[in-house]
Amino acid sequence: MPVKEPTNAQKHQGGRHLALAEALLRGLSSQLRGAATYVEVGGHVAQVMVAAQGAWMIANIDATTALTCERVILVDVTDGRRDFYVAEGPAFRAGVRARHEAFLQQQGGTRPRNPDSKHTAVRPKDVVEWRDRWDLLQQA
């Protein structure tokens, strides 16, 4: 019987639990917060994003950059990796917006294939400064 590939939702939940496990192993209190996206680590609420194919996909840059969560935990499980990036929410969102605007400028101000798309991606090279920054989740 062939092994069934997990869905994106299952991968996200797996990454969310990996973030909690990593926090616990580092001595930080952690728990799920809500049904799908958030966790609480060290008294900080954090949005969790999971990359399973080399980048974190953002379907709507406007909705993402409008969030107010104080921390973001990026989990990269691409090709069996278990890499974590812990970012300050406002700085992360500002970087996402700046890279997206720079991309649009390179394209003459409009996305080339689908001008109405609000999709953008975040690659590990974009967030390298936040790799393993668990110190940002120390007790509040």
Q: What is the pLDDT along the chain (140 residues), one digit of tens a residue?
A: 788 889 999 999 999 999 999 999 999 999 999 998 999 999 999 999 999 999 999 999 999 999 999 999 999 999 999 999 999 999 999 999 999 999 999 989 888 888 889 999 999 999 999 999 999 999 76
Cβ neighbours of residue 135 closer than 8 Å, sequence gap 6 or more? none
What's residue 2's pLDDT?
A: 82
- The answer to whether 65 and 96 have CB atoms below 8 angstroms apart is yes
pTM: 0.93
Compute CA distances 133 → 28, 83, 128, whole Å: 13, 11, 10
